[in-house]
Amino acid sequence: MADYDTIFIGSGHATWHAAVTLARAQQKVAIIEEDTIAGTCTNFGCDAKILLDGPFELTEQLKQYQGIGVNTTPSIDWSQLMAYKQQVIQPLSVQMTAVFKQLGIKIITGHGELTDTHTVKVAGSTYTADTIVVGTGQRPAKLAIPGADLMHDSRDFLDLPTMPKRLTLIGAGIISLEFANMAVLLGSEVHIIEFADRALPAFYSEHVEKMIAHLQAAGVHFHFGEALSQVTKSATGLLATTKNGLTIESDDIIAATGRIPNIEHLGLTKVGIKTDRHGIVVDDHLRTNIPNIYASGDVISKTLPKLTPTATFESNYIAGQLLGSTAAIDYPVIPSVVFTLPRIAQVGIPVEAAKLDTEHFHVQALPYGKLLAFQYQNEVDADLQLIFDQENYLVGASIYGNGAPDLINLLTMIITDHVSANTLSQKIFAFPSASVGIIDMLTPLLHHD
């Protein structure tokens, strides 16, 4: 008889939702964790980032009223803000640990490695289970260049006691842009080095260009088409040098060139689990090629966005499977957000893909910042691109503006539920809220039953 019904390797969103559900269903459950309980997002990622972002969002909103009632904007004290972040974030892992223990979930501290299809070894001890779920997530990629060890990563940035006066970020992805936004608003000299010719290729180019222009106006220096070749120490800081000979001196360098799955030293090859460079290969039930071993979250090889909500969805799905469900996983549309200021958000069919397939889709632009100026706090550049199918059902959207995260959630529900104009017109929404203006403009464009 196995020690446990289910063992989870990793304690982030990809696993703990399932662990809690199974424990409540009276299963015997264990979680193996070598780092901090509750995983990257909770401790070193999204939660910490959005907490730090809050004051920057508020000060940027105040700037939109400059000269029309607001004459000064407050300054941000990064050290005080970081202390607040620590105060809020640090207890979370302790609180989650208490929840797990209260539910009877065994927490095993250390690195887990499969020794066979039902056994995991941790620090010399072995634990057996009928089912094993791997949810070990990802880590920042490291560039294979001289001086790579002199650079820091996203986890380090979110723990900086003081903001460097000169900061260079490597890569122009979501993480770099969000960090650059905070740093430049604190008065730092900020440079971004990117080997490609643009930022955020997965997002609508016109919205990205507007955001880049906004960051440039704030003082961020972009260096596209530049591949970092080495990092060296100088008398007064660090030197980042590219293959083209560009040299930038700064006080700190943050490498944000992507993330890679944590699949090494887990015993996956030993037990025959298939992997590729994107992670663990799974079927449409999130099973590996070993029937009793599942994988969940960012460690999976998939084309879908590797985001916390996706990992949570997969974790809940696996719990259902282990409690008797047999349906294949059916992902809804998944929204993505870039938390710069202004924000960019998108969901569903991309704008540029729709413009290339006019036989099946059409795009409607709504410059809602101009049309709804007072509702959207004088953010006149705010823009919404809506994608409709042949029957005028909403199938995609891209938003540029500070209200994008909340708006994209509203539009995600409309897309997912195949909402028609008739359905929306039968609802009464709060007024004069910001979103009701979007609903009023969207309703006549939608399919009529």
**396 annotated ligand-binding residue:** no
Instruction: Give, rounded to a whole angstrom, the gap between the first and last alpha carbons of the chain.
Output: 57
**Residue whose C-alpha is closest to residue 108's, from 260, 261, 3:** 3
**171 annotated ligand-binding residue:** yes
What does the alpha-carbon distance between residue 446 and residue 357 come to, in Å, rounded to a whole number?
Answer: 19
DSSP annotation string for 261-314: E--TTSSHHHHT--EETTEE---TTSB-SSTTEEE-GGGB--SS---HHHHHHH
**Identity of the amino acid at 290:** I
**298 annotated ligand-binding residue:** yes
- CB burial string 35-68: b at 16+ within 10 A, e below: bbbbbbbbbbbbbbbebbbebbeeebbbebeeee
List the beta bridge partners of residue 8. 31, 133
Let me know: does 126 contact 3? Beta carbons within 8 Å. Answer: no
List the beta bridge partners of residue 33. 109
**Identity of the amino acid at 31:** I
DSSP annotation string for 389-443: ETT--EEEEEEESTTHHHHHHHHHHHHHTT--HHHHHT----TT-HHHHHHHHHG
**Identity of the amino acid at 170:** I
What does the alpha-carbon distance between residue 108 and residue 402 come to, in Å, rounded to a whole number?
Answer: 42
What does the alpha-carbon distance between residue 437 and residue 443 come to, in Å, rounded to a whole number?
Answer: 10
List the beta bridge partners of residue 125. 122
Inter-CA distances, 165 with 190, 416, 444, Å: 8, 45, 50
- How many residues comprise the chain? 449
**387 annotated ligand-binding residue:** no
**Identity of the amino acid at 284:** D
**177 annotated ligand-binding residue:** yes
What does the alpha-carbon distance between residue 120 and residue 6 come to, in Å, rounded to a whole number?
Answer: 11
Spatial CB neighbours of 39, under 8 Å, sequence gap ≥ 6: 10, 11, 12, 13, 14, 16, 137
**173 annotated ligand-binding residue:** yes
Tokens read off for 91: 């207890």
**112 annotated ligand-binding residue:** yes
Tokens read off for 188: 């730092």
Which residues belong to the annotated binding site for FAD?
Answer: 112, 298
Which residues belong to the annotated binding site?
Answer: 112, 171-178, 194, 258, 298
Which residues belong to the annotated binding site for NAD(+)?
Answer: 171-178, 194, 258
